[in-house]
Structure 1
Amino acid sequence: MKISVRNLEPTKVRLTITVDQEELEPHLNDARKSIANQINVPGFRKGHVPGKIVDQRVGYAAVVGEAVNEAVPEFYNNAIEEKNLRPMAQPVLDLKDVPAEKNDGVKLKFTAEVEIRPSFELPELEGMTVEVEKPEVKAEDVDARLAALQQRFGTLVGVDRPAAEGDYANINLEAVINGETVDSQDGISYELGAGNMLDGIDEALTGLSAGEKTTFTAKLAAGEHEGEEAEVKVTLNSVKTMELPELNDDFAQDASEFDTLDELKADITKQLESESEGRQANAARDAFLEKVVEGLEIPVPKGLLAEHTEEHLRNMGKTVDNATAEEKKEASESAEKEMRDQILLDTLAEKMDVQVSQSDVMNFLASVAQQYGMDPNNFINSIIQGGQLPSAVQEVARSKGLLTAMRAVTFKDTEGNVVDLSRFLGSDEDEASDEDQSVAAASAAAAVADEVASADAE
């Protein structure tokens, strides 16, 4: 087999593949056997018709046609492997020459245009130092968490005064457009100042007493008339304020398993420290990737970028035709970053010589199923039946490659202290657990699960 490669773009090549007759012959024989099972020839049992007779009955060209359908993908894959190319998309195949008669001297020749992963040199990881922010838990952070807990145990108490910010108002709303009521809701509870309802409602309710009404103008935020300006009539039914329990040992006993407020605060501090370390691990991952790509130009396949951009637009509820220029730019930039990250992670996995076992993939898929409350066996079967197993393998390889690469460098905080991330990265001897691997692959796992869930819904 003769293979020539022409670079069309930094991420696109055209292979021209010429196959010798002796290489094609096994495929011709397979085609003859397949055809022999489909035809009836007097004097021969079905499936036992000699190849020469098959050629005579259906024609040599028909045999070649059958053989080519099976042979071309195999020859293409062999060529890709021989030339050490890494396809990122399906190839566009084009038959150029096909033998029509036996021994006519014509060799099977075809081209394959395909977008590939670009090649680039990653920096040496040995001796690399990456700086990451030092995690810090402040007293106000503990106070804020404690206040949120206190709020959960608060009690709403009615007050006989005008509504003010922070109060809880029970209201009736009626939206009117051109004299016609388009929406109405009664008994809505709303916290003044929360900012999660119609624009202008805080100003309208402030100073209003129970039983009073007012009207204001606002754009509707949802429903059939979303975005349209309406006259909104609001009736204030009641005003309540939140009475909070006193922060003391009794509160600690009611709100937790601890006997004293000091013990509760210590536990909150410990939780915040753990969360802060998790955020530091994520920040370390991002800082590491930024360090690795410093000075690198990573081109992105144009065709794939266009496809991914359209996918991002669909997720935004838009299409190429109705999206604004700003929305198209946002979708394109998001798709490009996502693809560059994937290309980088694939290259890292290759550099770190990552090996993915069957148990790695099964454990990964089982952990994803658990995150989404799915039955692991059903989820894994859906992945396999949907032809998504290679994608799952790729995600596991990316995760393992990133974790292995991060273990090869030194992380230091802004004060120069070495940061121990072994809780999240595991070790070379004892690789990170599935839960820890999700630090690197959570978004990818979610994408796989969402794709399968969507497929099941359809």
Structure 2
Amino acid sequence: MKSTVEQLSPTRVRINVEVPFAELKSDFDKAYKALAQQIRLPGFRPGKAPARLLEARVGRGAVLEQVVNDALPSRYSEAVTSAGVKAIGQPEIEVTKIEDGELLEFTAEVDVRPEIELPDFSSINVEVDPIEITDEAIEEQLLSLRQRFGTLTGVDRAVEDGDFVSIDLSATVDGENVAEATASGLSHEVGSGQLIEGLDEAIIGLKAGESKDFTSTLVAGEYAGKEAVVTVTVQTVKERELPAEDDEFAQLASEFDTLEELKADLRERVARVRKVEQAGQIRDKVLEQLLETVEVPLPEAVVKAEVDAALHDAVHGLDHDEEALNKLLEEQGSSREEFDKDAQEAAERSVKTQLLLDSIADAGNVTVGQDELTERILFQAQRYGMAPEQFIQQIQQANQLGAVFADVRRGKALASVVESAGVKDTSGAVVDTAELFGSSEEKTGGGVFVPAERKKKKKQGWVGVLPKIDGVGFSFWSEGGRHWHSGPPLLRYCLCQ
């Protein structure tokens, strides 16, 4: 087989391939064998009919068509490999010549990864926010922990900010009832602002059984964007009683015996979280500067595929009805033009980022070990609340294992850039990125979820410590299948893409 490559653009090539018929013998044998299983000829057992009789039955053209269709994918892959073409996306293949018994010729146009001129990474300089740990932040964490152990108690008084209420809602627009804005028995935390605008202000001061009308602009449905008269009726009022800040609470909520020990631990946790947040800011700013300074030609077909995927995701829950999508966008105060523009910009940025980080990984000979890939899979499974084996099965069925591998490799590539970049905080202090991101061996681009080590038994459960989740340790108390975390929410590892 012979092949040549024509460079059509920085991101696209045409591969010309010539395959002598002598190299297609195995493909012909396979085609004849398949036909013999499908066609019954008198005097021959199934699968034993000779090739010449099979050709006489179906015609030489049908045999050639089958052979060519079967041969093209493997011959294309062979040509790509032998030429060292870094193909991305699906090829457009065209058979240009078939000389029966002599030669098969075809061309394949495909997008390729462009050559990218990388800068000196030490020339990259970014400025980030300093790490600040205030007493207010510690108290906020302690309050959050107390709220998790708080109890709701019914009260016979008017609603106050912070109460928990059960309410009924109804609404009218120009005297017409709005069905989608009618609900009964809704639970709501007053002051959270999670339901209708103006609701919290209207509820405060009402007692159980009392109602009040207020106006609000509807944001969805048939009357989206219109002002409605909303009626709220309070059914029940409850307040949250928080446990006292004392040693008994520390023992209940953590592995510590005193409140001071718990507060000291919360301070350490806040410090670690602030470091993770700063690391994420460094990552984002370094990547942003790379994208602004490095020229990356974009393969049109790959970008289009990303845009098409975004549209598919948007209409998937709408029975793939684009008119329904257009209507929904209008109800949300947007338009299809804005959606298409945003999708195009997001696709271009995504493709540019991937191509750039892949080039950096190639230049640095970045590799991904089995342990690193396993860590990312475990981390992603934990993020989605799935068992690792279930998550692995899903990504294998979706043929996404290669994408996970690529993400880990890109995360390591970006970490290597961060290591070389100059980083200061806004006060002018140099930030030690090695301390934030760890050694090169640790920059896997994914977190690791390590099973908890049991430390000591407390009351009816176990106090445990998660040695490292995204580089941050977390303690918890497990009782009867319930897990109380004394640390902040789990955070994405700072190099995840």
**TM-score of the aligned structures, taking structure 1 as reference length:** 0.77
Query: CA-to-partner distance for each residue in 1:183-220, whole Å, 9 max, x for gaps?
Result: 64445454443222212223433444555432223345
The alpha carbon displacement at 1:343 in A equals 1.6
By how many angstroms is 1:371 displaced?
Answer: 3.8
Equivalent of 2:170, from 171, 174, 185?
A: 174
- Tell me the equivalent position of 1:332: 344
State the match for 1:344 in structure 2.
356
Tell me if the contact between 1:407 and 1:427 (Cα under 8 Å) persists in the aligned partners: no
In the alignment, the residues of structure 2 paired with residue 130 and residue 181 of structure 1 have an alpha-carbon distance, to the nearest angstrom, of 52
* Number of residue pairs the alignment of both structures matches: 438
Q: Which residue identity lines up with residue 424 of structure 2 in the other structure?
A: D
1:417 equivalent to 2:471? Answer: no
State the 1:15 CA deviation: 2.6
Is the 2:213–2:232 Cα contact (8 Å) retained in structure 1? yes
Residues 388-446 of structure 1, C-alpha deviations (whole Å, 9 max, x = no match):
3433333343344444x247525543234351446644434996875259736755xxx
Kindly indicate whether the alpha-carbon contact (under 8 Å) linking 2:163 and 2:240 is maintained by their aligned counterparts in 1: yes
**Residue ranges of structure 2 left out of the alignment (5+ in a row):** 327-334, 449-469, 472-491
SS at structure 2 position matched to 1:384:
helix
Choose from 133, 138, 151 the match for 1:137.
133
The letter for the 2-side match of 1:395 is D
Distance 1:236 1:154 in 2: 22
SS in 1 for 2:89: coil
Offset, 1:313: 3.6
Give the match for residue 195 of structure 1: 193
Higher strand share: 2
Change (3 A) 1:361 1:168: closer
Give the aligned partner of residue 427 of structure 1.
440
2:111 maps to: 115
1:147 and 1:378 map into 2 onto residues whose CA distance is 36
Output aligned runs, 1:433-452, within 5 Å: 435=448, 439=493, 442=496
- Structure 1, residues 312-355: CA drift from partner, whole Å, max 9, x if none? 24444587652522222222222222222222222222222233
2:145 maps to amino acid: L
8 Å CA contact 2:93, 2:107 repeated in 1: yes
SS in 1 for 2:213: strand
Amino acid paired to 1:88:
I
1:296 aligned residue: 294
Query: Aligned partners of 1:63 and 1:238: how far apart in 2?
Result: 78
Contact 1:310–1:320, Cα closer than 8 Å, also in 2: no
Which amino acid counterpart does residue 97 of structure 2 have in structure 1? D
Segments of 5+ residues of structure 1 without an aligned counterpart are 444-458
Q: Offset at 1:358?
A: 5.4
TM-score w.r.t. structure 2 length?
A: 0.72
CA contact (8 A) 2:408 2:445 kept: no
Indicate conservation of the 8 Å contact 1:94/1:112, yes or no.
yes
Structure 1 residue 89: Cα displacement: 1.1
1:273 aligns with 2:286: no
Identity of aligned residues (%): 37
Assess if the C-alpha contact under 8 Å between 1:220 and 1:230 holds in 2.
Answer: yes
Q: C-alpha distance in 2, partners of 1:43/1:134?
A: 87
Which stretch of structure 1 is more off in the superposition, 426-435 or 112-121?
Answer: 426-435
Q: 1:21 to 1:142 in 2, by over 3 A?
A: same
Q: Give the conservation status (yes or no) of the 8 Å contact 1:64–1:99.
A: no
**SS in structure 2 at match of 1:195:** coil
Asked if structure 1 preserves the Cα contact closer than 8 Å seen for 2:166 and 2:185, the reply is: yes
What do residues 223-248 of structure 1 show as CA deviations (whole Å, max 9, x unaligned)?
78766654322234565655655545
